[in-house]
Structure 1
Amino acid sequence: MIGNLVSLKQLEALVWVADLGSFRRAAQQLNTTQPNVSARIAGLERRLNIVLMHRDAGSVRLTDKGAEILEVARRVLHEAEILTEVAARADLVEGRLRLGVTELVAATWLHQYLRNLKEAYPSLTVELTVDLSRQLDTSLGERALDLTIQNAPFTSNVRGNVVIGDYPYVWAAARGLARALAGVNCVSELTGHSLLTHARHTQSYNELADHARSLGIQTSCFVPSSSLTSCMQMAADGLGVALLPRIMVERGAVADKLMALENLWLPSALHFAARYRHQSARHIAKAAIIAAQTAQAFSHQGQASRL
């Protein structure tokens, strides 16, 4: 038996140092100190009589044998999580989940998701980042995030993917302005007002700019913002007409002040997914599934309230 040979904490330290490329960052992730992480790795090397990694200035490089041991360590930790599931002891899963979401999620079903996640993994701490999808995608690819809930297009090369669903857009304005614009059926008829849009280089902005050019509309009336919540609030305050995901208009914080404008051109719907690296711990994959379930339940609640 090898029960006294290695510990799960040593294997966990190896995985995080390898993934993050830093003893300091691994210590932050494991909620411990850098010397403690170093001691775990050194103890593992000593017990196995193998050099697992070279510590160069500012970087960590696995040896060939270290890379082999790393893949075994991932499998062992994966199986250890299955043990907690069989024992119905999800509370034994500890650590931090570095979660990245877009503003759409933050403004709609994020809080319910965090409650559901806490119920599933009581001892798991969530470190939250809210940002544009392209930034989340970069952070996921650089291993700075464990799980992202974001919209396409995706550029990071990860294999973990759970489909959340599509979120269509709608034009919206304060109720008084929306009533005055009730007969409008072309975006060109909105240009007497500020057109509040998501940030430049986002999917919706690029498609709107292309559509505007096809109609001969000057983009000087566009007011792009990195914050959809700000666009929503400005529209509610009567400061323009906003292009927003419909779910934010109907279920957001100022839904009672906004009205959708129908029969207008719209950009492509946002395609959302929960994404993670396929080598990730088992609870991260489960967290992605919980996200999809939460989003579906939230959408069904909205549909029921409109009936």
Structure 2
Amino acid sequence: MVVTFKHLEAFVWVADLTSFVRASERLNTTQPNISSRIATLEGLIGTPLFDRNGAKVHLTSKGQQLMSHARAVLAARDQFLQAADEKALTQGILRLGVTEMIVHAWLRTFTLALKAMFPNLAVELTVDMAAELERGLHARQLDLALINGPFQYPAASEPLGRYPMIWVAAPSLGLSGPLRTEDLAAHPILTHARGSWPHRLVADHFHVRSARLVPSSNLAACLQMTVDGMGVAVLPKAMANRELAEGALVTLDYPWTPDDLDFQARYQSEKAPGHVAKAASLAAQVATDFAAVNQ
């Protein structure tokens, strides 16, 4: 019996996720398989690598001593694959987190380009608020997050551009010309989900006015409600381009909007394999191409 890449992958992921179950999910196998790989590795080395007391597992002193070497071996394998420059050799799952704005802007273009670059790499997609996705990235539940700031945790990043927010409404509401705060407050104000950065900014702006904020965790539904004349909305312009072009929505002349959404492709460079960095760079190129046409 010899030490294999599978043994080292199990070792690294159990350590990073502090859980045999989560490591098995990350490596697309079963918890008994992960336990078997760790037990085999410990048998070959002749000493325990993990303390198994309590709900979480932690590295022993020997495990801590060997962890950097295990990462170096896996990094060397990744460098070999990059040097071979054969994209089909890159396999596994990329756990990708995106906000809903990316979904409605250029996610399809990105995933198609990613498939062309790495044909044997599967994408597991999570759509959520930026703050939740950043926490998932920090906990290593995600490999790559395409999210807007502000950011709480340090990470490697590729800029994805800034996306302006605009006020929009259905033409049937008859809102034209320079508008005052009370003009908007006369209608329900449809916003991002409660707890999101744009919602906080809108809530702060209207906090002393009698405005009715209607947050939504689904921006597509928020957009449709606005088209249907159920209120005014502040949304990323990139999401409303089609409706504006078709005349289903009009831009409102109001002197304040939330800050532009500053998007980045973020990942943990010290732990992520090379294809994650390449995927982040690809996202930056797709975002640049999208902005050239739509902004």
TM over 0.5: yes
Look up the equivalent residue of 1:163 and give its one-letter code: P
Any conservation in 1 of the 2:155–2:267 contact (CA below 8 Å)? yes
Per the alignment, residue 288 of structure 1 pairs with 280
Larger deviation: 241-250 or 291-300? 291-300
The reply on whether 1:272 has 2:263 as its aligned counterpart is: yes
In the alignment, structure 1 residue 300 sits paired with structure 2 residue 284: no
- Match 1:208 to one of 199, 202, 205: 202
Q: Is the 8 A contact 1:51 1:66 kept in 2?
A: yes
Matched, 1:9 2:1: no
**2:164 maps to which residue?**
168
Note closer, same or farther for the CA distance 1:251–1:75 as it changes in structure 2 (3 Å cut).
farther
Residue type of the alignment partner of 1:205: H
What is the rounded CA distance, in whole Å, between the counterparts of 2:60 and 2:154 in structure 1?
24
1:252, 1:148 → 2: CA distance?
A: 27
1:65 partnered with 2:59: no
Q: Deviations along 1:132-187, whole A, 9 cap, x unmatched?
A: 112112222222222211111112x332222212111000112343xx22213333
1:126 aligns to 2:118 (yes or no): no
Identity of aligned residues (%): 43
Determine helix, strand or coil for the equivalent of 1:218: coil
Unaligned runs of 5+ in 2: none
Give, in whole Å, the separation in 2 of the partners of 1:132 and 1:32: 28
Amino acid at match of 2:144: L
Worse-superposed segment, 253-262 or 270-279: 253-262
Structure 1 residues 122-201: aligned runs within 5 Å: 122-155=119-152, 157-177=153-173, 180-201=174-195
**41, 45, 68: which one pairs with 1:44?**
41
Distance 1:69 1:252 in 2: 56
| CA RMSD, 1 decimal | 2.1
Matched residue SS, 1:59: coil
The C-alpha deviation readout for 1:52-94, integer Å capped at 9, x for no partner, is 2122343211112212322221122122112112212222222
- The equivalent residue for 1:106 is 103
Q: Could you state the TM-score of these two structures normalised by the residue count of structure 1?
A: 0.88
Q: CA deviation at 1:5?
A: 4.3
Q: Secondary structure at the match of 1:69?
A: helix
Deviation at 1:251, TM superposition (A): 4.6
CA–CA separation in structure 2 for the residues paired with 1:74 and 1:48: 17
Separation of aligned partners in 2, 1:69 and 1:24: 22
Larger CA deviation: 39-48 vs 287-296: 39-48
Q: Which amino acid aligns with 1:159?
A: A
User: Is 2:244–2:250's contact at 8 Å kept on the other side of the alignment?
Assistant: no
Amino acid at match of 1:271: D
Distance 1:205 1:172, change over 3 A: same
Between the aligned partners of 1:18 and 1:120, the Cα distance in structure 2 is 30
In structure 2, the residue corresponding to 1:189 is in which secondary structure?
helix
The C-alpha deviation readout for 1:247-293, integer Å capped at 9, x for no partner, is 11115799652222235311111111111223222222222222111
**Mean alpha-carbon deviation: is it higher for 56-65 or for 227-236?**
56-65
SS in 2 for 1:117: helix
2:110–2:283 CA contact under 8 A, matched in 1:
yes
1:108–1:251 CA contact under 8 A, matched in 2:
no
In the alignment of these two chains, the number of paired residues is 294
User: Contact 1:160 / 1:276 at 8 angstroms: preserved in 2?
Assistant: yes
**For residues 124 and 255 of structure 1, do their structure 2 counterparts lie closer, same or farther at Cα, with a shift above 3 Å needed?**
farther
TM-score, normalization: structure 2?
A: 0.91
Amino acid of the structure 1 residue aligned with 2:158: V
Note the alpha carbon deviations across 1:93-140, whole angstroms, 9 max, x for none: 222222111111111111111111112221122111111112112222
